Amino acid sequence: MLLNASVVGLILPDRFNNLHMKKTMIVLPGRVKIALLYFLLILPGPVTSKAGGIVFPGTMINEEQFVRINGIEQWVTIHGESTKPVIFFLHGGPGSTLSPYSANLYKSWEKDFIIVQWDQRGAGKTFGRTAPDELTPAYLKGNLLTVEQMVSDGIAVAEYLLKRLDKKKLILFGTSWGSVLGVKMATQRPDLFSAYIGHSQVTDPADDLELYVKVYQLAEANKDTESVQLLRTIGLPPYSEARNAGKLFRIVKKYEQRHSAPAPESWFVVSPAYNNEKDNQNRSDGDDFSFVNYVGDKKLEVRSMRSIINIPRDNATFRIPVYLIQGKEDLLTPPEATKRYFDHINAPTKKYYLLPGTAHGFNQAVLDAQFEICKAIKTE
């Protein structure tokens, strides 16, 4: 599927299943019965559950499938040992799915946790399931994303997971855009979750002016004439076109990378199952589609999702523990903003992790903090 350049321009990455058994009575001598019982008890359970099959205690779950959520099929992957706590990941972007990279980042966690990735509405394989041949203005206008719809989707996925995995609660992790969904899901349905972990927590993202001024100062200080000229060309926010917000965010990303410890290159190599022309195109187009919906575009008549987001005002009271992981070098969601929000939070337990040498994205320090928090959370 080709992206129509006129639309967005330069925008930013069982064995026992369905088994029917006949009732048969076999009369066995006592010693044979005992031997048979012993044999059955020591038999190992199924090594791996299949999609839709029975999940047995001690089973390694490896499921990757579309699940019907709120009227559309959405991509959900589940990997890990069935008796372990579940971590439900909410990816950022919006549109920046984690499923193609999950094994690279979290494969070693699968002995301690069940790792769940979900391609949200408008992203990755979920977007590709019903993607148009061409991303046109008419398609954008007729398929608007809303925060409310995506929160509803997230809650429905959580309910599906609890039933599918026979769990009482999940650990909820949201990164960047996913942290918007995360706080709203956690405050609306605390009964579904044992704790909420926010990484690069979004608070009040509608105004880019402070971000523009900060990155302009950095570009001038570094004699980065190319970035200075581009910032002058797009001018001060707010922007009526999504492409200009995309240009600003690309410069922000450049300066974050200069001041933070990078993630290993192997982390963000696309897994072979996702590295094909169709999936690669759907990820790219879904990223653009979601980004336009997030920042808005007056010409395309797409309302900005972020224009209504004010997390400190709307989502400060929790009935579950809250943990925030924050990069000290983060420009998009700066520590000053997330710490103000954290101080405003009312929760049974809360903790703030400020990581030096870390910006908005993932690196080893982020994963180490994630793992420490998840291991300490009491799950049911």
343 lies in a domain?
yes
Going from the C-alpha of 235 to that of each of 6, 244, 300, the distances in angstroms are 21, 9, 20
- Residue 21 domain flag: no
Does residue 44 fall inside a structural domain?
no
CB-CB neighbours of 343 under 10 Å? 11
Whether residue 35 lies inside any domain: the answer is no
- What are the structure tokens assigned to 135, written together? 């991303």
Q: What is the mean pLDDT of residues 217-243?
A: 97
User: Confidence band (pLDDT; 50, 70, 90) for 302?
Assistant: very high
| Strands (E) located in the chain | 2-3, 48-49, 60-69, 72-81, 86-90, 114-118, 134-135, 170-175, 193-199, 322-327, 350-355
pLDDT tens for residues 274-283? 999 999 999 9
What confidence tens digit (pLDDT) does each residue in 187-200 have? Answer: 999 999 999 999 99
The closest alpha carbon to 5, from 202, 249, 272, 284, belongs to 284
Tell me the backbone φ, ψ of residue 80, rounded to 5 degrees: 150, 175
How many Å apart are CA 268 and CA 104, to the nearest integer? Answer: 7
Q: What pLDDT score was predicted for residue 277?
A: 96
Mean local confidence (pLDDT), 232-236:
98
Write down the pTM of the prediction: 0.87
Asked whether the predicted pLDDT for residue 15 surpasses 70, the reply is no
How far apart (Å, rounded) are the C-alpha atoms in residues 74 and 28?
50
pLDDT of residue 57: 74
pLDDT band at 58 (very low <50, low <70, confident <90, very high): confident
Three-state secondary structure call for residue 110: helix
In a domain, 84, yes or no: yes
In the chain, the largest separation of any two C-alpha atoms, in whole Å, equals 90
Task: Kindly calculate the radius of gyration of the chain based on its CA atoms and give it in whole angstroms.
Answer: 23
Q: How many angstroms separate the CA atoms of 254 and 221, rounded? A: 14
| % of the chain beyond a pLDDT of 90 | 83
pLDDT in tens, 32-52: 443 433 333 333 444 455 566
Residue range 139-144: mean pLDDT, rounded: 95
* Residues in CB range of 133: below 8 A, 6 or more apart: 1
Residue 314 has pLDDT above 80, yes or no: yes
If one counts the domains in the chain, the total is: 1
Asked if the model's pLDDT at residue 217 lies above 50, the reply is yes
Q: Give me the mean pLDDT over the 230-246 stretch.
A: 97
Task: For the chain, give the mean pLDDT.
Answer: 89
Query: In degrees, to the nearest 5, what angle opens at C-alpha 166 toward C-alphas 164 and 172?
Result: 80
Residue 157 CA, chain-centre distance (Å), reads: 12
Residue 228 belongs to a domain: yes
Could you say which DSSP state residue 121 is in?
Answer: T
* Stretch 125-143: mean pLDDT: 95
Q: Which residues contact 105 (CB under 8 A, 6 or more apart)?
A: 98, 267, 362, 367
pLDDT of residue 50: 54
Is the pLDDT at 98 greater than 90? The verdict is yes
Is the N-terminal amide bond of 94 cis, ω within 30° of 0?
Answer: yes
> Which tokens is 105 given?
């980042």
As beta bridge partners, residue 62 has: 79
CATH of the domain at 58: 3.40.50.1820
Which residues form the domain of 313? Answer: 2-10+51-376
Residue 27 lies in a domain: no
Alpha-carbon dihedral 104, 108, 109, 114, rounded to 10 degrees: 80
Look at residue 19 and tell me if it is in a domain: no
